[in-house]
Amino acid sequence: MTGPDPVSLWHRLADTSVLLDGFHALKHAVRFGADVPVAVAVDRGAALALAEELAPDVRDTLDALLTQVPESAYATLVPRPHPTAVAALAVRPSRAAHLERLAHTPRTAPVVVLDNPRNLGNAGAVIRLAAGFGATGVVTTGTLDPWHPTVVRAGAGLHFATAVERLTVAELPPGPVFALDPEGDDIRGVKLPDDAVLAFGSERSGLSRELRARAGHLVALPMRPQVSSYNLATSVAMTLYHWSLGGS
């Protein structure tokens, strides 16, 4: 007995689902428990061979999920073809469950806050970093949708490995807020607790007035004089690495 046509199913679900664009996004989503109702590949055999090489733990799951479709059909499903020619749709995780996870205390890892970020790729890179460090979650303020397809693509599907939500500053999870600011104390002399809320300002304008007022601590990354700033994802990586060391 054959299942529903994957292209028709895709079109029925696309508006309410998370696009997993490429093999690695699908691999990570499956690895972290995503519900994937449809997954396609232009070359199913090549995709499974890639899984055998890079992700044998999910190879059998992908074998059950992937349906081969013509390249012309695949091209109608994604905004721009991925080099692996693999794509899938996943059910977005429960916002209520994410909010509960973010609010739960005591935490064993910080929450990362991106205050009014502008760049979709940067947001995705931060989510990928946060997942790698085991952060409790990533929260964005402002208008950027952290589940935008470009963010999910840049995050390589690792949205499913952490709690990703958009909130207002007033809705931020509990915990001491450590905001990154050039005028803050050198982070090398500061111990970041596990329940910290680590806030990073916009790529263009820095911290908003509202978030700065919420911060209990301003901390600064070491930087050579006359260098104006680090990339947002680099700043988050340096800060999470400092937290992971566990000392000051």
- Going by the DSSP 8-state scheme, the letter that residue 113 receives in this structure is E
Q: Alpha-carbon distance 107 to 70, whole Å?
A: 47
| Helix 44-54 with 23-31: angle, nearest 10 deg | 60
Write down the pLDDT at residue 4.
75
Contacts of 25 (CB under 8 A, 6+ apart): 88, 152, 153, 155, 156, 157
Mean pLDDT for 221-226 is 88
pLDDT band for 1, please (50, 70, 90 cuts): very low
Write down the pLDDT at residue 206.
85
Sheet holding 38-41, edge to edge: 18-21, 86-90, 38-41, 66-68
Give the tens place of pLDDT for each residue, 225-244. Answer: 878 788 999 999 999 999 99
Give the tens place of pLDDT for each residue, 3-55. Answer: 679 999 999 999 999 999 999 999 999 999 999 999 999 999 999 999 999 99
Q: Please report, as a single letter, which amino acid is at residue 89.
A: L
Sheet holding 137-140, edge to edge: 163-166, 137-140, 111-114, 197-200, 177-186, 217-220
Contacts of 84 (CB under 8 A, 6+ apart): 22, 23, 24, 41, 47, 50
Stated as kind and residue range, the H or E segment containing 178 is strand 177-186
Give the tens place of pLDDT for each residue, 162-191. Answer: 999 999 999 999 999 999 998 899 999 999
Give the tens place of pLDDT for each residue, 110-125. Answer: 999 999 999 999 999 9
Give percent of the chain above pLDDT 90: 90
